[in-house]
Amino acid sequence: MPHATAQELADELPDGVVLADAQGVVTLVSALARRMLGPSAEPGRPLAEVLRLQDQDAQAWTAANTPYAGLRTRTAVPEQPWLLPDGTEVLVAARLHRAERLGPVTRVAITLRSGRGRARLDRERSDLVATVAHELRSPLTGVKGFVQALLNRWDKLNDEQKKLMLTTVAADSDRLSRLIAELLDVARIDTGRLQLYPRPSDAGVLVGRIVESVGAGTAREIDLVTDADLPQVHVDPDKFTQVATNLVENAVRHGDGLVTVRVEREPHPDAPDGVRLTVSDEGGGIPPELRRRIFTKFWTGGTTGGSGLGLYIVNGLVRAHGGTVSVDNGPDGGAVLSCTWPGLPDDIFG
């Protein structure tokens, strides 16, 4: 197969590409860049004429960034938003190549990509800020209101009233702490900075403690079914506990009837057997069209509140362990959420 030319390679790239030589003459324009910049974007023309981009003040990209001037140590122009002749926003970055260190610029490579992704990201960030502000405001309002009442009416309140107010303040403070911890987990998952400390763990024992703890705080019945010959799993016990707690509490909060928690051996043909944790309820279940959304940020499927981060964190923590997460409806209705956990590697004690 013959080697592809530079033009063919540039045309295959997902971003538009423009190359210019040491004299500022364009030597290559990819097909996508030509569609963005217009039919006049052709090799052989000056870079300023081909790269017809302006900012909000009608300043041209080449005039604002002077790629052939400036400090001899400069090697790049960072990504910036610019406007095409038709007013569409694109994100533009450049690499400044020098044949010799601190020598003159011998080639400029410019990339252009659609600004729609940036706009979508900006909207998502705005939604994130709005949602977080809403979730933080509610408990903060309660804390502030009760503290202010205690300060203003301390001598007029009896001990029972003070105790009730302080108990409410403590509960709202706990809610704030949980939300902040969830937001930190989300940030670590999103940035790939999640730290795991896996070690051999007994999934049956860990889940048993969780069911006992959650069951003590609810009138709902929680049934635990555990295989007798469960293998140990190679997990971070704290993260495993966080996942299992989220799943059980989610079923208690959003489901109806009996909550069933199953811990079973998960056979694996090419690796040591692991464990499958399944939590099901007897509620209305989750419609198929919504099942892909439940693991997204701030998804709430009911009217019982919550930050909407729990299942997003569940998905992130399980996948960070190399496991899988799935959602389905039971044969008689009700949601069924399952996650798998890896068994002990053969060389763990090696």
DSSP state of 79: E
Q: Which domains does the chain have, with CATH numbers?
A: 6-114 (3.30.450.20), 119-191 (1.10.287.130), 199-341 (3.30.565.10)
Which tokens is 212 given? 């006992």
Residue type, 136: L
- Give the C-alpha separation, 321 to 319, whole Å: 5
| Cβ(50)–Cβ(26) below 8 Å | yes
- Give the C-alpha separation, 341 to 273, whole Å: 9
- Give the C-alpha separation, 231 to 335, whole Å: 26
- Cα dihedral 189/191/193/196 (nearest 10): 20
**Per-residue pLDDT in tens (0 to 9) along the chain, 350 residues:** 467 798 999 889 989 999 999 999 999 999 999 999 988 899 999 999 999 898 877 889 999 999 998 888 888 988 888 888 888 888 899 999 999 988 999 999 999 988 766 656 666 666 667 767 777 787 888 888 889 989 998 999 999 999 999 998 988 888 888 788 888 888 888 777 888 899 999 999 999 999 999 998 888 899 999 998 899 999 999 999 999 999 998 888 887 889 999 999 998 877 789 999 999 998 778 877 777 778 877 666 654 555 678 888 899 999 999 899 999 888 777 889 999 999 988 655 54
Burial state string for 3-30 with b = 16 or more CB within 10 A and e = fewer than 16: eeeeeeebbeeebbbbbbeeebebebbb
Measured in Å, how far apart are the chain's first and last C-alpha atoms? 47
Q: Is 48 exposed, middle or buried (0-12, 13-18, 19+ CB in 10 A)?
A: middle
Backbone angles phi, psi at 17, to 5 degrees: -130, 135
- Give the C-alpha separation, 52 to 40, whole Å: 10
Task: Specify the pLDDT at position 1.
Answer: 43
DSSP state of 290: G
Backbone angles phi, psi at 155, to 5 degrees: -70, -20
Task: Specify the pLDDT at position 122.
Answer: 64
CA distances from 2 to 8, 9, 60 (A): 12, 13, 40
Which tokens is 309 given? 């981060």
- Given strand 325-329, what is the order of strands in its sheet? 222-226, 259-266, 274-280, 335-341, 325-329
Task: Specify the pLDDT at position 248.
Answer: 93
Task: Specify the pLDDT at position 242.
Answer: 93
Task: Specify the pLDDT at position 98.
Answer: 93
Task: Specify the pLDDT at position 303.
Answer: 47
Please name the residues in contact with 179: beta carbons below 8 A apart, sequence gap of 6 or more: 132, 135, 136, 139, 307
Which tokens is 92 given? 């533009």
